[in-house]
Structure 1
């Protein structure tokens, strides 16, 4: 993933992408640490998707959420999948597309645009029955 992404970026299709990375130590004596990546995509106010990537000395796992609901459970990626996911040439948008193709087809496609707000239809004027008589 490109490290040049800001904390939030809006794409031309209107989706908002964000990336939060945290690093923690669970053993100061052995120098073991873990790194957690939260990749988030907000397609609309009610359509949000997240990918959690956790890398530690003991385990590696991925979990995907759609509207804060777990969509995949815990995924233990293969070495090849992990290399594809952490490719330095991928943008956040391309990372979500890779996750959709590899782990969770329920994620929205790369060109998904926010749904337009429903426009209220103009009420059809009812004829005045007294004028017709």
Structure 2
């Protein structure tokens, strides 16, 4: 139990700091909200309505799906790269099984990368 005391102390300090920060921010933070601050913000495009008066008119401009696809590709490949760090740390202890598993993983990531490249998912234009 003595080994866990420092971890619990650090956790308690972190929790106290988080609660303190949120509490202080709610008391001393600005309370003057205006319409611009309360509107949704999406990738630099102001959400301005079309003023057409038609029921069902789309509010704001359309955002390209390419933005979301690029963000999802970044997240997927970023998470896959994060899996390489534990393998690199314990490379000696894993032996040939770890090497074979990571080789299979890298082949899998390479196939996904090649697929996205061929489909044009990495083109910025």
TM-score by length of 2: 0.18
Structure showing the higher strand proportion among its residues: 1
Bigger RCO of structures 1 and 2 (CA < 8 A, at least 6 apart):
1
Identify, as 1 or 2, the structure richer in helix. 2
Structure possessing the higher radius of gyration over alpha carbons: 2
